[in-house]
Amino acid sequence: MDHAIQEKVNKWLEGNYDEETKASIKKMQIENEDELADAFYRNLEFGTGGLRGIMGIGTNRMNKYTVGMATQGYANYLKKCFRDEIRVAIAHDCRNNSRVFAEITANVFAANGIKVFLFESLRPTPELSFTIRKLKCKGGVVCTASHNPKEYNGYKAYWDDGAQMTPPHDKNVIIEVEKISSVDEVKWSGGEADITIIGKEMDAVYLDMVKGLSVYPEVCKAQHDLKIVYTPIHGSGIMLVPDALKAYGFSNVHIVKEQSVPDGNFPTVNYPNPEETETMSIGLKQAKDQDADILLGTDPDADRVGVGVKNNKGEWILLNGNQTALLAFNYMIEARKAKGIAQPNDMVIKTIVTTDMIDVIAQKNSVACYNVLTGFKWIASLIKEKEGKENYIVGGEESFGLMIGNDIRDKDAVSAVAILCEMAAYEKNKGRSLFDKLIDLYVQYGFYKENLVSITKKGMNGAAEISAMMEDYRNNPPKTIDGIPVVALLDYELKIGKNLVDGTPWTIELPKSNVLQFELEDGSKISARPSGTEPKIKFYFSVNTKLINADEFDAKEKMLDEKIERIIIEMKLK
């Protein structure tokens, strides 16, 4: 075994770690040295969003020691930044060990003299963001690995605005966390009196906020029997989504029984992600059997939402994240205008890899649309920058996340489910479906079609392989893709855009990020971005064409799908 790895292993065997942990290490030394090396070859990185990794023993795993050390570093930074009483809020999802990690986090904060508000049991991530703002906390943590497989857990760290941290705090917290070199530096206990348990009273305030987002409550009342099927996919959405739908007046809600009980083993799915057809298959079957109007699914921490609808052939399908986003953005723009509550300074915010069709919709409706880096912390950061000057109404990204209204600073599937059902009710009130509305928008604004390819590179060499792929695209950009000239290259790492026709460069006015975008002469766009939370590199494809009428939809969709498939094959991603 590598000498540096062996030193880390010895430190755990000789240090103040529990006997069960030491016994597990000794067993792995005998039975699986490769697994032991992977568990210790590096420290689990406290990235700009916190921790995320496979649960188990070792410095490269999510366990009570890595969670405690991260919390100590975060506590040290909070104490450097704030002199008055420091408050934090802590929540967790349904995952195995999430409650344990949340209680450890609470104990370490409290032992450092920090006032802690700990939820009594599992709660959606968006409620944590809301709570930080409501209780005037300086920070917060939610223990979750979002939609990752059951082996994973994580630790999302928040700042005083209820958003995940942006510069300089994200990097500064990382510095403080990396200073904690031993479990002996962690204050594990002694401040329990500073922990306050919260629950139902905060739920009530949060649900009032969600109810206040409704644009057309009278339509929800008229269509109260809209047939809704909802699955929490064994996660925390069950705690609030049914209550949110009830608050909107919907009385015909059917919960997918097989997936209704919180369970960190996710027994009915391989991957608890509402983006996946397999994950949503039980819900899709129930929606079909019950002839529902809409199907909704939320991931384990209820910040992502999947949507199922009947298409123009009467088949049940899942909308992709871009389709869900453009429907929601359009509704918040169009309905507010029709209701007479639109403001001249209304703004919407999306990410650079989310469909450009939203930009077109906003422009045609004279609403400012801003593009930010991937992640809701960047949406939150821009809201803060524009506060008092522009009126934020909705933000989102293609990865099945929406953030509606100004009282929250992270993606929120609870409010998204409620608003999406209101949208379905709004269309049903006119004798139409959400899919009908989607095609109408394509006819009105242009037919944009997107796809995503994710390539996973696991193990010790994974990060290096992903880095090499990005450098190759950066240094050797393609001149044509699918026979169409590449007219612009946007390098967000170097913060430089370049017109490849005449060589004109320009500065990208966004923070640095390892993202490349290729813009084609026909308006197509390909983006490459390593994931910030998983050992993946993601490729985003966007193509578009005109749609004269709804009758053309199937033929034009086939044409766009074939174009994306050709690009994927040409770029050797399949």
**Which letter does DSSP use for residue 320 in this model?**
P
Q: How far is CA 228 from CA 181, 291, 299, 309, 418, in A?
A: 51, 10, 17, 11, 11
**Which letter does DSSP use for residue 472 in this model?**
H
What is d(CA 228, CA 469) in angstroms, rounded to the nearest whole number?
44
Element (H, E) at 316: strand 316-318
Q: Catalytic: 366?
A: no
What is d(CA 71, CA 63) in angstroms, rounded to the nearest whole number?
12
Contact between residue 519 and residue 415 where contact means Cβ atoms under 8 Å apart: no
Element (H, E) at 443: helix 434-445
3-state secondary structure 189-214: CCCHHHEEEECHHHHHHHHHHHHCCC
**Strand, helix or coil for residue 296:** strand
One DSSP character per residue, 383-399 reads HHHHTTTSEEEEEEETT
* Tokens encoding 277: 């057809």
- CB contact burial 134-153 (16+ within 10 A = b; e otherwise): bbebbbbbbbbbbbbebebb
- Return the closest-CA partner of residue 535 out of 467, 463, 464, 485: 463
Contact between residue 460 and residue 1 where contact means Cβ atoms under 8 Å apart: no
* Tokens encoding 524: 């197509």
- The catalytic position among 146, 415, 513, 527 is 146
Amino acid at 184: D
Contact between residue 330 and residue 342 where contact means Cβ atoms under 8 Å apart: no
Q: How far is CA 183 from the centre of its chain?
A: 31
* Tokens encoding 52: 């995320």
What is d(CA 573, CA 540) in angstroms, rounded to the nearest whole number?
11
Q: How far is CA 222 from the centre of its chain?
A: 33
Q: Which residues pair with 199 in a beta bridge?
A: none
CA atoms within 13 A on the CB side of 314: 2
* Tokens encoding 11: 């430190």
What is d(CA 564, CA 210) in angstroms, rounded to the nearest whole number?
38
What is d(CA 399, CA 416) in angstroms, rounded to the nearest whole number?
13
Contact between residue 554 and residue 439 where contact means Cβ atoms under 8 Å apart: no
* Residue showing tokens 């209680």: 103
* Tokens encoding 239: 């705690």
Q: Which residues pair with 218 in a beta bridge?
A: none
- The residues annotated as belonging to the active site are 146
